[in-house]
Chains A and B, each alone.
Chain A
């Protein structure tokens, strides 16, 4: 059951209806049932694996809170969870590796299953166990609350990777929320529709061009490849942030706040800032549970750089069992290291040449440079293999064909003239929204709410109309899953 589907809308409607009708004390149990129904709609086998993670992490937390020697229990718990994750997520890669190197055919491993969202809830489980290890008070004795934390349907497929402390309190207080809250419902509604706009109008539309060029890149010159990479950067941003927005919106409807996962990442002026704005829940998780325990900034420079490289490669590997993701992570690690190494030189040049660094022009220059590097990494992320990514990079350099921007061939790359026009307009809308968010520290919804009622309604209605008319959905459209559901 995808978020942007009729089935989900019906599910959500029924869920909310019952949620607000049942006695407040029963709400959390109904939410738990709904979580499992939602996850069951994918595959019953996935529920078994989820339950396995829940049991292992819950018991680990419980025993840590009671034990004198906590460390061995923590290690056992984390190892068990990681083993489950690895055996389901990376078994294909391991199998293929065996097959390639040893020429061994292991039949039992042919029927792999990859439980959707496993990376997200396993990381949440690990963070919980570490949190209990660090502070026994975090331990949640109520299994129902703990199950709600790991299985909460708005974020189970694609995150955000929430923290236990933040969620436990909210789940415990579910019975204290008011049934009807106008402000909450309109904010959630707007965010929900905006998420649908990002997914159905922008992301799904751009995927037509991106898929065409990436699948048939041999046919295309530099302009098409560059366009496809840029479009992919927007596609993945819209796809992932749309999921987060919808998740936040649904949670808001029942009075639960979950963390923001994106904060205008493409307006970042350097790679470090980009990672504070892109997939915030994952980067902060890696920082808190991996980078800092490894020594963080407190060790020597070499060690720090090695740690940086390692955590980014792990971040890449987290996305999937493919060498392209590891290279993507490696590139981001390298960007960070280079950025750190050249920073003093850059500052010296800026000072010597008396650059006006606090100007719009200079900031824009930094944003563009950062964006270009991020795009190069996206090329590896999206490509099916390193060879393909390198081939495409080579084409950018050797098959220079700027005329194809003017000779109508742009309309043969998967989007016809009208569709391309709609895509460009939708991207402009996205740009405006992100600019406003950038200027107002993400407070766009409260900004809209300060506007006169007619203007506000116009925004709501225009957005809904755009989604239902221009959205790429329905039986005649080959819809894509949210990209991050695969991770």
Chain B
């Protein structure tokens, strides 16, 4: 008996170690997996609008903005290039936990990706986030080429190879929480030609498999008595793709499902192809705000969606919104190239900025506006001319003008080291370490490293070369 107990204890220890290894090595990605894992963390029946689809949903539908402007509790439950069959099983799985007031289905995928089987990489990302259930097994079955069902059934067999890529994120991962609502915006701007598909009337049918699951989604929504809206978010749509979408919308009409073809609504939404696209397929931050605002208004106007703002039950949407805002600020800061604008953004209450002024900087190169902004963050003309290191943190300024120094700080259990040393040849060595990251651009002028306490990450490292007309150097 004693030996049997001992063996059971050993087995429990082995299983515990396996769970630990599994949690470290499992795929973590905002492309599908995180969305599903975070979905399970949501409180039951709190999601009013469930967004299903592909990256066109999780990159374009800003859940933070929907909350801010309309008090909508939305969730982007989707995956990369996710086909209808995965949408269907995501929906079935989701309805076990939530009773949304409306479901929005993005139909981008079948117009562009017509294969009946996804590549294995994305296939894993569209399934591995799900808990073990009948839905997951069926999703795996329908997604696997014949004979390949077992090949990717157990995630660890594919995931164990990640041991070479393990990093801190694998131990402390923030996306699998109630606060994550699935939104993962694309950044950057690509100037693109605005497509014109207004004259495309032809139809290209969906594959049998895609159509079957598309209809199944519509039927499931009907059975569950949940209104469904079919949406195709704006992108650089081709004529061929639009022919497929026409067919998709025909089915929506046939089934009396409302649809929004945003590729015919650029002006109404205000999409500017010189400014709002990250690349041909996804909107950038500016674009997704316009799109989300329009979609949110449509949903509020057409469905009885309660504004949950102020209700503590929905606090996690507040946090999601704050994260989005702070992330937006990070994006804005790291894309600001004008000195004054940059300095004004350092006043963000979540920022800790380490500003190092080095070299012989000419005061005459500064405009009065520059000087004013510098003074606002505690840098006087004297400090500017003589050089110093300034630790600026929302209203508090610590100026260090000693020749040699070493300062240690701690925020969010992360260490910060700022120092200046000279060797026997009078060579100057500046160090700015933030969260184990070297954050110093060794440049004459003003070097700034910014850490965001809310996002718990270094958000920008930049150098302004004063004597060269404020030339900007970024890593």
Taking Cβ atoms with an 8 Å cutoff, the residues of A that contact B are 6-7, 180, 182, 185-186, 418-419, 453, 457, 460-461, 464-465, 468-471, 473-477
16 contacts between A and B (CB under 8 A): A6-B150, A6-B154, A182-B6, A185-B7, A186-B7, A453-B6, A457-B13, A460-B10, A461-B13, A461-B17, A464-B14, A468-B21, A469-B160, A474-B160, A475-B120, A476-B161
Q: How far is the CB of B120 from chain A (nearest CB, A)?
A: 8
Instruction: State the main secondary structure of chain A at its contact with B.
Output: helix
Q: With A and B bound together, what is the CA distance between A228 and B223 in angstroms?
A: 64
Task: Assess the B17–A464 pair: CB atoms within 8 A.
Answer: yes
Task: For A474, give its contact among B4, B7, B21, B157 (CB under 8 Å).
Answer: B157
Q: Is B309 an interface residue (CB 8 A)?
A: no
Q: A182-B4, A464-B14, A468-B21 are in contact. Are A6 and B163 (CB under 8 A)?
A: no
Given contacts A464-B17, A477-B161, 4 further A-B pairs with CB under 8 A are A6-B154, A464-B14, A473-B157, A475-B152
**Total inter-chain residue pairs, C-beta < 8 Å:** 50
Q: Is B3 an interface residue (CB 8 A)?
A: yes
Q: A182-B3, A182-B7 are in contact. Are A460 and B152 (CB under 8 A)?
A: no
Q: With A and B bound together, what is the CA distance between A457 and B14 in angstroms?
A: 9
Contacts of A464 in B (CB 8 A): 14, 17-18
Q: A457-B13, A461-B17, A475-B151 are in contact. Are A470 and B163 (CB under 8 A)?
A: yes
Q: How far is the CB of B118 from chain A (nearest CB, A)?
A: 15
Q: With A and B bound together, what is the CA distance between A180 and B4 in angstroms?
A: 9
Task: Assess the B160–A465 pair: CB atoms within 8 A.
Answer: no
Q: With A and B bound together, what is the CA distance between A471 and B25 in angstroms?
A: 14
Contacts of A475 in B (CB 8 A): 120, 151-152, 157-158
Q: Is B156 an interface residue (CB 8 A)?
A: yes
Contacts of B10 in A (CB 8 A): 457, 460
Task: Assess the B150–A474 pair: CB atoms within 8 A.
Answer: no
Number of B positions contacting A (CB below 8 A) = 23
Q: A182-B6, A185-B7 are in contact. Are A471 and B160 (CB under 8 A)?
A: yes
Q: Is B412 an interface residue (CB 8 A)?
A: no
Q: Residue on B with the closest CB to A416?
A: B164
Q: With A and B bound together, what is the CA distance between A216 and B282 in angstroms?
A: 45
Contacts of B163 in A (CB 8 A): 469-470
Q: With A and B bound together, what is the CA distance between A473 and B151 in angstroms?
A: 11
Residue-wise interface mask of B (325-367) relative to A, using a CB-CB cutoff of 8 A (1 in contact, 0 not): 0000000000000000000000000000000000000000000
Task: Assess the A461–B157 pair: CB atoms within 8 A.
Answer: no
Q: How far is the CB of A417 from chain B (nearest CB, A)?
A: 10
Contacts of A418 in B (CB 8 A): 164
Q: With A and B bound together, what is the CA distance between A476 and B161 in angstroms?
A: 8
Q: With A and B bound together, what is the CA distance between A186 and B9 in angstroms?
A: 13
Contacts of B25 in A (CB 8 A): 469
Q: Residue on B with the closest CB to A7?
A: B150
Contacts of B6 in A (CB 8 A): 182, 453
Q: With A and B bound together, what is the CA distance between A474 and B153 in angstroms?
A: 11
The 6 closest A-B pairs by CB, nearest first: A182-B3, A474-B157, A475-B151, A418-B164, A469-B163, A461-B17
Q: A473-B157, A474-B158, A477-B161 are in contact. Are A465 and B13 (CB under 8 A)?
A: no
Q: How far is the CB of A471 from chain B (nearest CB, A)?
A: 7
Task: Assess the A469–B7 pair: CB atoms within 8 A.
Answer: no
Q: With A and B bound together, what is the CA distance between A6 and B150 in angstroms?
A: 9
Q: Residue on B with the closest CB to A468?
A: B160
Task: Assess the A461–B14 pair: CB atoms within 8 A.
Answer: yes
Q: Residue on A with the closest CB to B158?
A: A474
Q: How far is the CB of B347 from chain A (nearest CB, A)?
A: 44
Q: Residue on B with the closest CB to A456?
A: B10
Q: Residue on B with the closest CB to A422?
A: B163
Contacts of B17 in A (CB 8 A): 461, 464-465
Q: A182-B3, A182-B4, A470-B163 are in contact. Are A476 and B13 (CB under 8 A)?
A: no
Q: How far is the CB of A396 from chain B (nearest CB, A)?
A: 32
Q: With A and B bound together, what is the CA distance between A453 and B5 in angstroms?
A: 13
Q: With A and B bound together, what is the CA distance between A419 and B164 in angstroms?
A: 9
